[in-house]
Amino acid sequence: MTSPLLDTTSRALRRIALDKQRSGRVPGLFAGVQRGGSIVWGDGVGRVSLDREGTPGEDDQFLVASNSKTFTAVMVMQLRDEGRLDLGDRIAEHLPEVSHPLSVRQGLAHVSGMQREPVGDVWETLEQPTTEELLAGFVEAEVIGRPHDRWHYSNTVYAILGELVARLDGRSWEESLRARLLDPLELRRTSVGFDSGPHADGYYVAPYDDVPRPEPVLDLRAMAPCGGMASTARDLARWSAFVADPDPAVLSPDTLEEMCQPQALMDVVGWTAGMGLGFFLVRSKAGRTWVGHTGGMPGHITGLFTHRESGTGAVVLMNASAAPDPAAFALELGEHVVVHDPEEPEPWAPGTDLPAELAGLRGVWFSEGTPFVFSVVDGHLEARHPDLPKDRPSSVFEPVGDDVFRTVKGRERGELLRVTRDADGVPVKLNWATYLVTREPLAFGETPAR
């Protein structure tokens, strides 16, 4: 059950949002924090539109722009899990019109080396390409760097990934989006462009006066998979909860975790941000990793970031072209809640099963002179270094054969743990990732006592 926030927390979050709206001269914004898919704090500041009364609310649509990429990336990974593509595939294997030799993984992680935008000055003309124009123009698109040499953001590559989804699914990207994600997750107010419900109007506030100018609403056409979606804070809270703990019927939790593994460093100076497969991975000053994305369209700047370990998400929606950094804004909100008002932990519950084959493995073992405490928790074997911070996971093992276990979480994930027993069935040594693990600390080459 989700715990309500303290009044002091709510007041602090309100002050953060008010300060961002005032210092950023944003006509209107909505900021919120979610747990379990529900907005536990949300507040609107300013005006949802200068043509009508009302502050932005959790059911007002904003253009979420490049947050759309996270949806496109999840659909690509769904196709991978269905066996219809491999991340190492060249996109040309599925889209013959694509002549550049970039892989699906390179596209998802923005390490393909391709130019940022489609050919033509689309952000001057505001005319976005059709699918035919996108594919034809991509042949002429410039390779501005070697693949994997550095992170370089590319809207045009994500538009190509959207066409990849459409081609493999045999329907439009928008139809796939609805069938694969929006309907299953009940994201009723998430759409391509604004739906017919209430939405925020977008503005530009120039640096030397305080009169907002209305911004145009663009038809992104073939660029929609990289930035064409609109959504509400309420729907984005549900999306954040999915990122924290995905429904296996929609996407395997292991696949979502794979998407959150760093593929490239975005911030090569401060090392505070990396790129996963479709998600930004941003480190807070306290060292927590927040997974999400930002978005910017004329009149709309947005950000949604999730701390997966605590299940906390923060969303910021602003109706201004020039606005405070949405990632920093969201992290400030989310970090305040995680630090000052964390979710109440579940009470400790006793276990019910101690498998006989695990009983003799309990206690302290040593590897390279370093102690590890092996325990049985909820019927499975775990190992933990005594100095491991509390927020870091233990190594968790699953049996794969007689006295053979696979590390499925934590240190040495993926590696095998093998148990050797004496004639009486007592464990006398372990081999973890091939390293010798014994009951007493030994130097390399020493033999454990029998």
Instruction: Write the single-letter amino acid at 108.
Output: L
- Residue 32: pLDDT band (50, 70, 90) is very high
User: What's the confidence (pLDDT) of residue 69?
Assistant: 98
CATH at residue 55? 3.40.710.10
d(CA 63, CA 194): 7
Between CA 287 and CA 45 the distance in angstroms is 30
Q: What amino acid occupies position 223?
A: M
Question: What token pair was written down for 255?
Answer: 């696949």
Instruction: Let me know whether 335 and 366 are in one domain.
Output: no
Q: Are residues 331 and 363 in the same domain?
A: no
The string of pLDDT tens digits covering residues 317-355 is 999 999 999 999 999 999 999 999 998 888 999 999 999
Amino acid at 176: S
Query: Which pLDDT tens digit goes with each residue over 104-149?
Result: 999 999 999 999 999 999 999 999 999 999 999 999 999 999 999 9
- Name the more confident of 443 and 37: 37
- Domain with 61, as residue range(s), is 7-340
pLDDT of 316 higher than 70: yes
Do the domain assignments include residue 277?
Answer: yes
Looking at the domain assignment, is residue 443 inside a domain?
A: no
Pair (266, 393) in one structural domain: no
Cα angle at 351 between 348 and 355, to 5 degrees? 150
What pLDDT, on a 0 to 100 scale, did the predictor assign at position 260? Answer: 98
Q: Is the Cα torsion angle 84, 87, 91, 92 positive or negative in sign?
A: negative
Show which of 314, 340, 366 is a domain's final residue.
340
Q: Kindly state whether residues 138 and 211 are assigned to the same domain.
A: yes
pLDDT one-digit tens code per residue, 403-430: 999 999 999 999 999 999 999 999 999 9
The pLDDT of 86-114, averaged and rounded, is: 97
Last residue of a domain, one of 340, 370, 386: 340
pLDDT of residue 269: 95
What's residue 1's pLDDT? 56
Residues 206 and 105 in one domain: yes
- 241 with 371, same domain: the answer is no
Tokens of 196: 């017919």
Q: How do residues 106-117 score in pLDDT, each as one tens digit?
A: 999 999 999 999
- Asked if pLDDT for residue 363 goes beyond 60, the answer is yes
Is 285 contained in some domain? yes
Which residues are paired to 404 by β-bridges?
401, 418
- The number of distinct structural domains making up the chain is 2
Q: For residue 344, how many C-alpha atoms fall within 13 Å in the half-sphere facing its CB?
A: 7
| Mean of the per-residue pLDDT values of the chain | 96
Question: What's the pLDDT at 391?
Answer: 83
What is the mean predicted confidence (pLDDT) over 5-17?
A: 97
Q: Which two tokens stand for residue 289?
A: 């990793």
Domain match, 295 and 238 both: yes
Please report whether residue 126 resides in a domain: yes
Q: Which residues contact 56 (CB under 8 A, 6 or more apart)?
A: 28, 29, 30, 44, 45, 46, 47, 48, 62, 200, 317, 319
257/386 same-domain check: no
| 293 vs 74: CA distance, rounded Å | 13
Mean pLDDT to the nearest integer, 66-72: 98
Q: Is there a single domain that holds both residue 180 and residue 232?
A: yes
Number of other residues whose CB lies within 10 A of the CB of residue 157: 27
Query: Number of helices and strands (H, E) in the chain?
Result: 12, 21
Distance from C-alpha of 67 to C-alpha of 172, rounded to nearest angstrom? 19
- pLDDT value, residue 58: 98
pLDDT tens per residue, range 230-270: 999 999 999 999 999 999 999 999 999 999 999 999 999 99
Q: In angstroms, how far is CA 363 from the centroid of its own chain?
A: 37
Instruction: Assign 448 a pLDDT band (cuts: 50, 70, 90).
Output: confident
Asked whether residue 209 is assigned to any structural domain, the reply reads: yes
Q: Are residues 315 and 230 in the same domain?
A: yes
Residue 320's φ and ψ, nearest 5 degrees, are -145, 145
Cα 410 to its chain centre, rounded Å, is: 19
Q: According to the model, what pLDDT value does residue 206 have? A: 96
Query: Quick one: 377 and 326 in the same domain?
Result: no
- Residue whose entry in the numeric block shows the structure tokens 């961002």: 20
Supply the DSSP symbol for 126. -
Q: Is the pLDDT of residue 2 over 90?
A: no
Query: Cα–Cα distance between 111 and 414 in angstroms, integer?
Result: 26
Domain co-membership, 401 together with 275: no
